[in-house]
Amino acid sequence: MQQNVFISGTDHGLGASLAEAWADRGARVFAGVLRLPPGDRPEPRAEGGTIRRVVLDLSSDDQVAQAAAIVRQSVGHLDLVVNNGAILGDITRTAFEPLDFNEMARVYNINVLGTLRLTQALLPLLLAGPTKLLVNISSEAGSISSCNRQSWYAYAMSKAALNMQSALLHNLIRDKGGRVLILHPGHVRTFMQGAEDVAAVLTPDEAARLVLANIDRSGAAAGDRPLFLDPQGRVLSW
Protein backbone atom coordinates (compact mmCIF):
# COMPACT_ATOMS: atom_id res chain seq x y z
CA MET A 1 0.00 0.00 0.00
CA GLN A 2 1.17 3.55 -0.76
CA GLN A 3 2.89 5.16 2.23
CA ASN A 4 2.04 8.65 3.43
CA VAL A 5 5.11 10.46 4.74
CA PHE A 6 5.57 13.91 6.26
CA ILE A 7 9.07 15.43 6.31
CA SER A 8 10.01 18.85 7.73
CA GLY A 9 12.85 21.07 6.48
CA THR A 10 12.89 19.93 2.86
CA ASP A 11 13.98 23.20 1.25
CA HIS A 12 17.57 21.99 1.08
CA GLY A 13 20.03 19.38 2.25
CA LEU A 14 19.08 16.05 3.75
CA GLY A 15 15.35 16.90 3.90
CA ALA A 16 15.19 17.57 0.15
CA SER A 17 16.95 14.26 -0.55
CA LEU A 18 14.68 12.37 1.85
CA ALA A 19 11.59 13.74 0.08
CA GLU A 20 12.99 12.63 -3.30
CA ALA A 21 14.00 9.21 -2.00
CA TRP A 22 10.58 8.44 -0.52
CA ALA A 23 8.71 9.74 -3.55
CA ASP A 24 10.92 7.57 -5.78
CA ARG A 25 9.82 4.61 -3.66
CA GLY A 26 6.21 5.45 -4.50
CA ALA A 27 5.27 7.32 -1.31
CA ARG A 28 2.91 10.25 -1.08
CA VAL A 29 5.26 12.81 0.49
CA PHE A 30 4.20 15.98 2.30
CA ALA A 31 7.32 18.11 2.30
CA GLY A 32 7.53 21.03 4.72
CA VAL A 33 9.32 24.06 3.24
CA LEU A 34 9.97 27.54 4.57
CA ARG A 35 9.17 28.98 1.14
CA LEU A 36 7.17 27.48 -1.72
CA PRO A 37 9.11 27.69 -5.01
CA PRO A 38 7.34 29.92 -7.57
CA GLY A 39 4.71 28.01 -9.57
CA ASP A 40 4.98 25.06 -7.21
CA ARG A 41 2.63 22.13 -7.82
CA PRO A 42 2.59 18.51 -6.65
CA GLU A 43 5.35 16.55 -8.42
CA PRO A 44 4.38 13.07 -9.64
CA ARG A 45 7.13 10.42 -9.54
CA ALA A 46 7.71 6.87 -10.65
CA GLU A 47 5.69 4.17 -8.88
CA GLY A 48 2.87 6.67 -8.20
CA GLY A 49 4.90 8.71 -5.72
CA THR A 50 4.29 12.43 -5.28
CA ILE A 51 5.88 15.35 -3.48
CA ARG A 52 3.47 17.97 -2.21
CA ARG A 53 5.20 20.95 -0.61
CA VAL A 54 3.52 22.66 2.32
CA VAL A 55 4.66 25.89 3.93
CA LEU A 56 6.06 25.13 7.34
CA ASP A 57 8.08 27.26 9.71
CA LEU A 58 8.46 25.10 12.81
CA SER A 59 8.57 28.19 15.02
CA SER A 60 5.03 29.17 13.98
CA ASP A 61 2.02 27.65 15.77
CA ASP A 62 -0.20 28.81 12.89
CA GLN A 63 1.92 27.32 10.12
CA VAL A 64 2.19 24.01 11.95
CA ALA A 65 -1.60 23.92 12.38
CA GLN A 66 -2.14 24.82 8.71
CA ALA A 67 0.31 22.17 7.51
CA ALA A 68 -1.46 19.53 9.62
CA ALA A 69 -4.84 20.68 8.26
CA ILE A 70 -3.60 20.25 4.67
CA VAL A 71 -2.47 16.71 5.43
CA ARG A 72 -5.77 15.92 7.20
CA GLN A 73 -7.77 17.14 4.21
CA SER A 74 -5.69 15.01 1.83
CA VAL A 75 -5.19 11.67 3.59
CA GLY A 76 -6.75 9.72 6.43
CA HIS A 77 -3.47 8.77 8.06
CA LEU A 78 0.31 9.14 7.96
CA ASP A 79 2.69 6.18 8.04
CA LEU A 80 5.80 8.13 8.94
CA VAL A 81 6.67 11.56 10.30
CA VAL A 82 10.27 12.65 9.85
CA ASN A 83 11.36 15.60 11.96
CA ASN A 84 14.33 16.85 9.96
CA GLY A 85 14.13 20.67 9.96
CA ALA A 86 16.67 22.33 12.25
CA ILE A 87 19.15 25.17 12.50
CA LEU A 88 22.67 25.21 13.89
CA GLY A 89 23.36 28.50 15.63
CA ASP A 90 26.85 29.50 16.68
CA ILE A 91 29.32 26.63 17.01
CA THR A 92 32.51 28.49 17.85
CA ARG A 93 32.02 30.41 21.08
CA THR A 94 32.78 28.90 24.45
CA ALA A 95 31.54 30.15 27.81
CA PHE A 96 34.70 32.33 27.98
CA GLU A 97 33.19 34.51 25.22
CA PRO A 98 29.96 36.47 24.88
CA LEU A 99 27.15 34.05 24.05
CA ASP A 100 24.06 34.95 22.03
CA PHE A 101 21.20 33.79 24.22
CA ASN A 102 18.54 35.09 21.84
CA GLU A 103 19.96 32.94 19.09
CA MET A 104 20.07 29.96 21.44
CA ALA A 105 16.39 30.47 22.26
CA ARG A 106 15.64 30.53 18.52
CA VAL A 107 17.55 27.28 17.98
CA TYR A 108 15.64 25.68 20.86
CA ASN A 109 12.33 26.98 19.56
CA ILE A 110 12.90 25.39 16.15
CA ASN A 111 14.89 22.23 16.89
CA VAL A 112 13.08 21.18 20.06
CA LEU A 113 9.77 22.99 20.49
CA GLY A 114 9.13 23.20 16.74
CA THR A 115 9.64 19.47 16.42
CA LEU A 116 7.23 18.86 19.29
CA ARG A 117 4.71 21.30 17.79
CA LEU A 118 4.71 19.38 14.54
CA THR A 119 4.69 15.95 16.14
CA GLN A 120 1.76 16.89 18.38
CA ALA A 121 -0.22 18.25 15.42
CA LEU A 122 0.42 15.13 13.32
CA LEU A 123 0.19 12.52 16.07
CA PRO A 124 -3.52 11.69 15.54
CA LEU A 125 -2.82 11.05 11.84
CA LEU A 126 0.25 8.97 12.66
CA LEU A 127 -1.59 6.85 15.23
CA ALA A 128 -4.43 6.36 12.74
CA GLY A 129 -2.04 4.63 10.34
CA PRO A 130 -0.62 1.10 10.33
CA THR A 131 3.08 2.02 10.73
CA LYS A 132 3.07 4.64 13.51
CA LEU A 133 6.75 5.53 13.11
CA LEU A 134 8.15 8.84 14.27
CA VAL A 135 11.69 9.51 13.05
CA ASN A 136 13.61 12.30 14.75
CA ILE A 137 16.75 13.39 12.93
CA SER A 138 19.07 14.13 15.81
CA SER A 139 22.86 14.15 15.93
CA GLU A 140 25.80 12.56 17.67
CA ALA A 141 26.20 16.10 19.04
CA GLY A 142 23.17 15.37 21.24
CA SER A 143 24.87 12.48 23.01
CA ILE A 144 25.76 13.58 26.55
CA SER A 145 27.83 10.51 27.41
CA SER A 146 30.16 10.91 24.40
CA CYS A 147 30.38 14.72 24.44
CA ASN A 148 33.89 16.10 23.91
CA ARG A 149 33.03 19.56 22.51
CA GLN A 150 33.52 22.81 24.39
CA SER A 151 31.21 24.94 22.22
CA TRP A 152 28.13 24.23 20.02
CA TYR A 153 25.93 25.17 23.00
CA ALA A 154 22.69 25.86 21.16
CA TYR A 155 22.80 22.93 18.77
CA ALA A 156 24.22 20.23 21.04
CA MET A 157 21.85 21.11 23.88
CA SER A 158 18.92 21.20 21.44
CA LYS A 159 19.69 17.73 20.12
CA ALA A 160 20.08 16.34 23.66
CA ALA A 161 16.66 17.81 24.43
CA LEU A 162 15.28 16.32 21.22
CA ASN A 163 16.52 12.93 22.39
CA MET A 164 14.67 13.37 25.69
CA GLN A 165 11.57 14.47 23.75
CA SER A 166 11.89 11.28 21.70
CA ALA A 167 12.03 9.14 24.86
CA LEU A 168 8.93 10.84 26.30
CA LEU A 169 6.99 10.37 23.06
CA HIS A 170 8.17 6.78 22.67
CA ASN A 171 6.81 6.01 26.16
CA LEU A 172 3.52 7.64 25.21
CA ILE A 173 2.87 5.85 21.93
CA ARG A 174 4.53 2.47 22.52
CA ASP A 175 1.44 0.82 23.99
CA LYS A 176 -0.56 2.14 21.03
CA GLY A 177 1.73 0.32 18.60
CA GLY A 178 3.88 3.36 17.88
CA ARG A 179 7.63 3.95 18.21
CA VAL A 180 10.26 6.61 17.84
CA LEU A 181 13.56 6.23 16.01
CA ILE A 182 16.36 8.73 16.62
CA LEU A 183 18.82 8.94 13.74
CA HIS A 184 22.20 10.64 13.43
CA PRO A 185 22.52 11.06 9.65
CA GLY A 186 26.32 11.31 9.62
CA HIS A 187 28.46 14.25 8.56
CA VAL A 188 26.54 15.52 5.55
CA ARG A 189 27.68 18.00 2.91
CA THR A 190 24.99 20.64 3.36
CA PHE A 191 24.87 24.40 3.90
CA MET A 192 23.80 24.19 7.55
CA GLN A 193 26.95 26.04 8.62
CA GLY A 194 26.21 28.88 6.20
CA ALA A 195 28.57 27.60 3.48
CA GLU A 196 28.88 24.18 1.91
CA ASP A 197 30.49 21.84 4.43
CA VAL A 198 33.10 20.39 2.09
CA ALA A 199 34.73 18.42 4.91
CA ALA A 200 31.62 16.26 5.16
CA VAL A 201 31.87 12.68 3.97
CA LEU A 202 28.32 12.09 2.77
CA THR A 203 26.28 13.84 0.08
CA PRO A 204 22.67 14.54 1.08
CA ASP A 205 21.51 11.79 -1.30
CA GLU A 206 23.90 9.26 0.26
CA ALA A 207 22.81 10.26 3.77
CA ALA A 208 19.15 9.94 2.75
CA ARG A 209 19.76 6.40 1.45
CA LEU A 210 21.35 5.49 4.80
CA VAL A 211 18.38 6.97 6.69
CA LEU A 212 15.99 4.85 4.64
CA ALA A 213 18.14 1.76 5.15
CA ASN A 214 18.17 2.38 8.90
CA ILE A 215 14.39 2.69 8.94
CA ASP A 216 13.97 -0.48 6.87
CA ARG A 217 16.34 -2.39 9.17
CA SER A 218 14.79 -1.14 12.39
CA GLY A 219 11.81 -3.49 12.11
CA ALA A 220 8.42 -2.90 13.67
CA ALA A 221 9.07 -3.81 17.29
CA ALA A 222 9.21 -1.02 19.86
CA GLY A 223 11.77 -1.54 22.63
CA ASP A 224 11.75 0.17 26.02
CA ARG A 225 13.71 3.11 24.60
CA PRO A 226 13.81 4.66 21.14
CA LEU A 227 16.71 3.34 19.08
CA PHE A 228 19.42 6.05 18.72
CA LEU A 229 21.43 5.00 15.66
CA ASP A 230 24.37 6.20 13.59
CA PRO A 231 24.20 6.04 9.75
CA GLN A 232 25.42 2.44 9.71
CA GLY A 233 22.75 1.36 12.19
CA ARG A 234 25.06 1.13 15.20
CA VAL A 235 23.56 2.09 18.54
CA LEU A 236 24.77 5.46 19.88
CA SER A 237 25.06 6.22 23.58
CA TRP A 238 22.62 8.73 25.09
Q: Using DSSP bridges, classify how beta strands 4-7 and 28-33 pair: parallel, antiparallel or unpaired.
A: parallel
**Which residues on adjacent β-strands are paired with residue 137?**
183
**Secondary structure of 145-204 in HEC code, one letter for each residue:** CCCCCCCCHHHHHHHHHHHHHHHHHHHHHHCCCCEEEEECCCCECCCCCCCCCCCCCECH
Strand 43-44 with 50-55, pairing? antiparallel
Q: Are 200 and 189 in contact (CB under 8 A)?
A: yes
Contacts of 75 (CB under 8 A, 6+ apart): 4, 28, 125
Residues 6+ apart with CB under 8 A from 97: none
Q: Minimum distance between the CB of residue 12 and ligand NAP, rounded to whole angstroms?
A: 4
DSSP string, 83-117: E--------S--TTS---HHHHHHHHIIIIIIHHH
Select 34 or 167, whichever has its Cβ closest to ligand NAP: 34
Does residue 11 belong to the site contacting ligand NAP (CB under 6 A)? yes
Pairwise CA distance, residues 112 & 59, whole Å:
10
214: contact with ligand NAP by CB under 6 A: no
Return the range that interacts with ligand NAP (CB under 6 A); candidates 81-89, 90-98, 125-133, 172-180: 81-89
Q: Using CB under 6 A, which of 29, 78, 86, 135 touches ligand NAP?
A: 86
Closest CA to 135 of 109, 169, 101: 169
* Residue numbers 29-48 binding ligand NAP by CB under 6 A: 34
**Position among 21, 23, 58, 173 found at the interface with ligand NAP (CB under 6 A):** 58
Between 2 and 203, whose beta carbon lies closer to ligand NAP? 203
Any contact of residue 118 with ligand NAP (CB under 6 A)? no
Total residues contacting ligand NAP by CB under 6 A comes to: 29
**Three-state secondary-structure class, residue 223:** coil
- 209 DSSP 8-state letter: H
Cβ closest to ligand NAP, residue 64 vs residue 173: 64
Query: Which string of x and - marks every residue 135-174 that binds ligand NAP (by CB under 6 A)?
Result: --x-x-----------------------------------
* CB closer to ligand NAP, 81 vs 87: 87
| Of 49, 85, 129, 226, the one binding ligand NAP by CB under 6 A | 85
Q: Does residue 56 interact with ligand NAP by CB under 6 A? A: yes
49 binds ligand NAP per the rule CB under 6 A: no
Q: Given the rule CB under 6 A, which residues bind ligand NAP?
A: 8-15, 34, 56-59, 84-87, 110, 114, 137, 139, 184-185, 187-188, 190-192, 200
